[in-house]
Structure 1
Amino acid sequence: MKIRERIEYLSKPKPFTAGPDQTVLEAAREMSSRNIGSVIITDTENKVIGLVTERDLMRRIVAENKRPDEAKLSEIMTTNLRVAREGDNVIDWLRVMSNERFRRLPVVDDEGKLVSIMTQGDFVSYTWPELLKLFSDRVEKKLGFNNQHLWIIGGVLVYGIAMAVILVTAM
């Protein structure tokens, strides 16, 4: 499935962006008011040039005892970013993000302009139902029948055994 084909992708709010000369304090206050964990640094054409996360604030401002009202985002931003295209495969990016240990992925259009940001959590939550369906289909194919009945029967059996254990221990 393509990133742009996800219904949830279309409903995501516009990502928070800032210019490289904005102060860290201004960006941190906006991140706090929006309850978000990052700001994407863009140039005047809305092309991604960097990213600042809460972790960057901790490591590059707080831990180094820098003044957030004086430091610029360009001084602390991560610049070697991976960016996705709207037509890229969700599962491919989930794998890359997991293997390379990063959680935020700016998504750009064909002109390289920022359109969204996806997090590893977004991809997991968006793909989890599909993975469960795939698992269910494979079990059904192997067993030759609909496995939902097995889950219901198994659940009733587990519940029955649990109730019996509770009653026996209560006596």
Structure 2
Amino acid sequence: MRVREAMSSEVLVVGPEHTLRQAAQMMADRNVGSAVVVDPESEGIGIMTERDLLRAVGTGLDVDVERTAAHLTWDVVYAGPDWTVDEAAAAMARGGFRHLVVLEESEVLGVISVRDIVRIWAGRPAVAPI
């Protein structure tokens, strides 16, 4: 199976000036573990994950003051839509992360997560985000 068939095409996008609380609330509302961060003043995109939020909270930072730009990953590893699910899983295992942004040329098509891959391997149907 290809990444384009397994990924979530409904991507949560937040800006670099959103607070960590705002990002966390949007992620919780959509029942997703990541948000793509687009900074119009920067090239490329970043990703904010549950892990990034946990690190900030765990160190005692104020989630109402801290901005996503200071706590996200800018060196994002991207997946191609025609990668196999196995290739995506291997990239996640090598990098130690649970989400890959799916790009075609410079357009964000979706995000594939470990949850998506496990669902495919288990033969389960997709569950729509809330």
> How many aligned positions are there?
122
Contact map agreement 2:3 2:112 (CA 8 A) in 1: no
SS in 1 for 2:64: coil
Structure 1: unaligned runs, 5 residues or longer: 130-171
Distance 1:43 1:109, change over 3 A: farther
SS in 2 for 1:27: helix
Q: Matches of residues 73-84 of structure 1 in structure 2 within 5 Å?
A: 73-84=68-79
Q: Matches of residues 33-72 of structure 1 in structure 2 within 5 Å?
A: 33-44=29-40, 48-60=44-56, 62-72=57-67
Contact map agreement 2:13 2:37 (CA 8 A) in 1: yes
Q: CA deviation at 1:14?
A: 1.0
For 1:158, the equivalent position in structure 2 comes to none
Report the identity percentage. Answer: 28
Question: What's the CA shift string for 1:106-160, capped at 9, x where partnerless?
Answer: 10122x121100002212322444xxxxxxxxxxxxxxxxxxxxxxxxxxxxxxx
SS in 2 for 1:67: coil
In the alignment, which of 123, 138, 162 is matched to residue 117 of structure 2?
123
Contact map agreement 1:48 1:114 (CA 8 A) in 2: no
2:89 corresponds to 1:94 = yes
Instruction: Quote the RMSD (CA, aligned, Å).
Output: 2.1
Measured in 1, the distance between the counterparts of 2:32 and 2:69 equals 19
Q: Greater helix share, 1 or 2? A: 1
TM-score by length of 2: 0.80
Q: CA deviation at 1:2?
A: 2.8
TM-score by length of 1: 0.63
Measured in 2, the distance between the counterparts of 1:14 and 1:74 equals 22
Query: Which protein has greater RCO, CA pairs closer than 8 Å, 6+ apart?
Result: 2
Q: Greater strand share, 1 or 2? A: 2
In the alignment, which of 13, 16, 20 is matched to residue 16 of structure 2?
20
Measured in 2, the distance between the counterparts of 1:48 and 1:18 equals 14
Structure 2: unaligned runs, 5 residues or longer: 124-130
Question: What's the CA shift string for 1:41-77, capped at 9, x where partnerless?
Answer: 12349x75211112211212x1222111111100110
Measured in 1, the distance between the counterparts of 2:118 and 2:88 equals 11
Measured in 2, the distance between the counterparts of 1:113 and 1:96 equals 20
